[in-house]
Amino acid sequence: MRSIFGACAVLALACSMQAMASSTPSRAGLTLDDVFKNSVLSEAAVSPDGEWIAATVIRPVDENGVYGRSFYEMDVTRADVWLISRRTGERTNITQGGADASGFWCASWSPDGSRLALMSTKPEGGEPRGGDNVRLYVWEREGGGFKRLTSRAIASQTMGGSAMYRVELQGQKKRDPARCSNEENAPFIWLDDTSLLAIVLPEGAVSGIMDAYTRALSHAGTTLTELREGKVATVTESESGVAPAPSPTASLQVIDAKSGTARTVAEVPLHPFESDLQISVAPNGRSIAVLASKGAIAHENGKSFAYPYSDWQMRKQLGFADVQGHVARWVEDLPASAKYPMDLQSWSPDSSVIAMRARSDAQTRALTLMSVSPRDLSMTRISPEGTSVAASAVGAGLPGSSSVLFVDDGRLVARALKSAEELAPWDWYRAKMRGLPMPRADWWAFSRGRAPVNLTASMKTPPDALFATRDKARYVGIADDALWALDLRSGKATKLASELPAGANVIWPSAIDASNRPTSEMIVAGRANDGVRPLVHVTLIEGKATVQPLKPPTDKAEFRKYDAEHSLALFHDVNFTGTFLWSLHVKSGQSQKIMALNEHWANVDPGESRLIDYRGIDGQELKGAVLVPPNYQPGRKYPVLTWVYAGSTVRGSADDAFDLNAPGQYNLRLYAALGYVVLVPSMPLRPDGQKNDDYIDLPKGVMPALDRLIELGIADPNRLAVMGQSYGGYSVYSLVTYTNRFKAAIAMAGLTDLVAAYGEFDRTARGYPGIEHQKSVNWGLSEQGQVSMGVPPWEDQWHYWRNSPINYVDRVETPLLMIHGEQDIRGPMTQAEAFFFGLYRQGKRAKLLRYWGEDHGLRQSPANIRDMYEQIVAWLKTNLPEQ
């Protein structure tokens, strides 16, 4: 291949490598024990008086922990809550969960700051070590005591993989919690200083995070007993073409934190699988709107869902309750334009109606805007025919912006476009992130009986989100790296500030959380440059904007949240000396380190990373990330481990590809410490949702990156290995059918047969009678997601065939290590077994490791992680011997 670099470029890179070698301190390389010592900062909540911060920290791996509930590094059932004083810096672990292997998380301050509500697995009475469920607790600031508020489980969401029991509970109080962690919304909110509104599971039910991966194993144990007794049939049923099984229910309860007494406000459906339960409290604090998933929409012959994921394939029920606990009322007759409710949006300021988005049928992406009255359950269509209220965000789980806002004059302002141009939510998100062309979605003012008004028609680019200001007729938003004010009365757009960083977007307040709440401040981030995002603080006063640079406490500290009342921003910094939580007083610019974790990293030599430029087979300019071992010696040719994931591209800082905090066997710095150069190449594919041939396209960015390393004199061409997980596992299976250049390969949790994977049941769905078949999302991934076949296999079997590595297994000559978990939700172990048997039948070198009880992430049990890592290292040493 022709190099895109001249001799000077090669010399420059060689010089930089020489500098690495000479400046590397004499510290030990990273070990798996170092990785297991890591603590993970999950969340932090600022007290109402601004004096205290409650930080949730997941404990390091140790022999006293209880595992198997989630990916170990994000398993909040192993977390503690630390109370940190901003004034003195004093830090206290107020939960001490390590003593009984319990977890505490989702800390939320009461409005007066006297209490913290938390979720916990703390065992009481005869409950087992580590707990048997997730329950709601309260911690009293005066006295420091804990109290369990209910014996029943609370609706904790699963993390890592398919979302189960996903909820969104929004109130109108200023300090309502939104999230417990990166993947979990809070299933409770404070109504006042002493009362909580919480979603409580039925008696005997278990929170999703506790049994997402163990329910199937428990069911297997029950099956063994039933087989031995021979009295009970061990059958489970799945039916098609009949009415679906009824959904289980949860209780919406008002709980008194003082007395622990509870009263049920409503019984609401709570479908456990890929769905949402949305609950929104009106501004008057009395009315409660509920949009609950009842189960999957039935498939119809010859018809496909417009977007076959999550709440787009769920039947939902709309209802209303009130805080006083009167009987909940459900909307039984939906108009044709709102046959399939999608999500709740804003309440009107007077609490008389709530906005809702809905679809007319399951085959359309177009969303209709409705207003619904809790008084008489009447429903009115607001958006006209041929218009869709943009699907940039739907439900509780997708990234994006709130698309519907109530105005005091009774109008609804919504981001909308022509129905025929509507995209699916992830398509909006991906197009924005990748800078791809998108249809134009303007902001429109809608009201019943009046023609819609396009408020942003005069703007070159409409904002993605609008934020209310203290002037009730003015909203602000960012477009073309400038801050604009939009007058809703006149429709006039005025540029308020243009000195925003390139790629500007609002990171506080969240458009979803802010709703119609007025703001006088914003924090805006620009596009990352070498891993650093420039920040500015925007102040809105009397119709004018003041923009001031916001300097984080350290160069690469990441913004976490902002408390405007106390001008307090929290930042999270992960670097080669540890993990740190910082507070920054925005007005004064003074910062303070308030928590330090993982300071053992200071004793680790992480290796050095650099970016390389190269050209892909199709001619596109690409970047690769390269990590060299500690004590790297320029001029020496090293064995190379290539980490692959089809569709990924390398941008920004090289360190982004080599996260020091990456869990278990996925921490690529472990392999550099053993003397391997690690390469992460760019592997661009066509956008998801198109009818793609990923098998054909995925080598195009990998092999040229290896050629570049060989050309630079870094890689030993005779000692090349490849490894990947999930779609990276599929990438490995595919690559070894293309080329024999790799001398060792490791495929983890990958697909090999796309036809078989399409209809496979999710192994973790065992134990959910009547709905086990509804948990699998792999058919959606095949048709419109990452695999991108576009249609089911019976409509284009050849397309599936030519993209399935199993059909080329006879071409494999590379020694292949295959790793798969029994409870893999993305593809069962049969995917690896079939490929292994194909190699076994030909007498070719292969090894299959099946980890019983493990999931798709292959990192629940520390013992399994250690064994996997040792097996990977042994495979590399055997097949890439020193020469």
User: Which of 5-9, 200-204, 338-342, 720-724 bottoms out in mean pLDDT, i.e. has the lowest?
Assistant: 5-9
Looking at the chain, the whole-number percentage of residues with pLDDT higher than 90 is 68
List beta partners, residue 168: 278
CA count, 13 A, side-chain hemisphere, 342? 34
- The single residue listed with the structure tokens 């959380």 is 513
The DSSP code sequence of 784-833 is HSSS---S-TTT-HHHHHHT-GGGGGGG--S-EEEEEEEE-SSS-THHHH
pLDDT attached to residue 26: 62
**Tokens in use for 70?**
């989630």
Mean pLDDT of 782-805: 84
How confident is the model at residue 400, as a pLDDT? 45
Helix H or strand E encompassing 736? helix 727-738
pLDDT band at 514 (very low <50, low <70, confident <90, very high): low
pLDDT in tens, 138-153: 999 998 899 999 999 9
Q: Could you tell me the sign of the dihedral formed by the alpha carbons of 658, 662, 667, 672, in that order?
A: positive
Q: Domain ranges for the chain, please list them.
A: 7-32+607-756+808-879
Contact 357, 343 (CB under 8 A): yes
Distance between CA atoms of residues 407 and 413, nearest Å: 7
Rounded to whole angstroms, the Cα distance separating 368 from 372 reads: 13
- Which residues neighbour 833 within 8 Å (Cβ) at sequence distance 6 or greater? 820, 848, 850
C-alpha 499/C-alpha 811 separation (Å) is 57
Mean pLDDT of all residues in 294-320: 83
What is the distance between the alpha carbons of residues 588 and 801, in angstroms, rounded to a whole number? 62
Cβ(295)–Cβ(311) below 8 Å: no
Nearest to 572 by CA among 597, 548, 550: 597
Is 630 strand, coil or helix? coil
Q: What angle do CA 258, 264, 270 make, to 5 degrees?
A: 120
d(CA 698, CA 431): 20
At 515 the pLDDT is 56
List Cα–Cα distances, 373 to 277, 319, 341, 546, 696, in angstroms. Answer: 19, 10, 15, 40, 54
CA distances from 257 to 6, 122, 133, 254 (A): 70, 18, 20, 10
More confident residue, 175 or 800: 800
What SS3 class is residue 751? coil
Using alpha carbons, list the distances in angstroms from residue 129 to 37, 119, 219. Answer: 22, 16, 21
**What is the phi/psi pair of residue 441, to 5°?**
-115, 110
User: How far is 848 from 842, CA to CA, in rounded Å?
Assistant: 15
Cα 74 to chain center, whole Å? 12
* Nearest residue to 116 via CA among 144, 157, 156: 144
CB 710 within 8 A of CB 678: no
pLDDT at 552: 95
Q: Are 630 and 638 in contact (CB under 8 A)?
A: no
Q: Is 146 exposed, middle or buried (0-12, 13-18, 19+ CB in 10 A)?
A: middle
- Tokens 């609401």 — which residue? 268
Structure tokens at 593: 């380190």
Using the predicted structure, report yes or no on whether residue 15 has a pLDDT greater than 80: no
Which two tokens mark 865?
A: 């992680």
If one compares 26 and 570, the residue with the highest pLDDT of the two is 570
Q: Which helix (H) or strand (E) holds 575?
A: strand 568-575
Pairing state of beta strands 846-855 and 816-823? parallel
Tokens of 840: 């076994």
d(CA 236, CA 850): 25
d(CA 588, CA 332): 56
Per-residue pLDDT, 784:
65
Mean pLDDT (whole number) for 174-201: 83
> What's the mean pLDDT in 595-620?
94
**pLDDT exceeds 90 at position 791:** no
Residue 625: what pLDDT? 97
What's the confidence (pLDDT) of residue 690?
59
- For 343-386, the pLDDT digits (tens) are 998 899 899 999 999 999 999 999 999 999 999 999 999 999 99
Q: Are 361 and 318 in contact (CB under 8 A)?
A: no
Q: Which CATH architecture has domain 7-32+607-756+808-879?
A: 3-Layer(aba) Sandwich (3.40)
Instruction: Measure the N-to-C terminal CA separation of the chain; round to a whole number of Å.
Output: 26
Q: Residue range 524-532: average pLDDT? A: 86
Contact 356, 371 (CB under 8 A): yes
DSSP letters along 427-473, please? HHHHHHHHT------EEEEEETTEEEEETTTTSSS--S--EE-SSTT
pTM, rounded to two decimals: 0.93
Assigned token pair, 827: 């593809």
- Would you state the structure tokens that stand for residue 386, as one six-digit string? 């041929």
Task: Please tell me the distance from the alpha carbon of residue 645 to that of residue 725, in angstroms, as a whole number.
Answer: 7
Distance between CA atoms of residues 250 and 267, nearest Å: 6
DSSP-assigned states of every residue in 122-167: ---TTPPTT-SS-EEEEEETTT--EEE--SS-B-PPP-SSS--SEE
Instruction: Report the pLDDT value the prediction gives residue 394, as an integer from 0 to 100.
Output: 67
- One-character DSSP codes across 340-398: EEEEEEEEPTTSS-EEEEEESSTT----EEEEE-TTT--EEE-SPTTEEE--S--TTTS
pLDDT of the residue at 517: 74
Distances, alpha carbon 134 to alpha carbons 72, 124, 288, 301, 795, in Å: 17, 12, 25, 41, 45
Cα separation of 375 and 521, whole Å?
36
- 8 Å CB contact between 96 and 80: yes
Q: Quick count: other Cβ atoms within 10 Å of Cβ 576?
A: 12
Higher per-residue confidence, 665 vs 391: 665
**Alpha carbons 689 and 789: distance in angstroms, whole number:** 8
| Mean pLDDT value across residues 266-295 | 90
Question: Which 3-state string (H, E, C) describes 175-210?
Answer: CCCCEEECCEECCEEECCCCEEEEEECCCCCCCHHH
648 versus 302: the higher-pLDDT residue is: 648
Q: What is the mean pLDDT of residues 619-641?
A: 95
Query: What pLDDT is recorded for position 687?
Result: 65
Give the mean model confidence (pLDDT) for residues 429-434.
73
- Among 13-27, 283-297, 760-774, the minimum mean pLDDT is found in 13-27
Task: Give the C-alpha separation, 317 to 250, whole Å.
Answer: 14
Q: Mean pLDDT in the chain?
A: 89
- Dig out the tokens for 199 from the structure: 């979603």
Q: Tell me, what's the pLDDT at 463?
A: 92
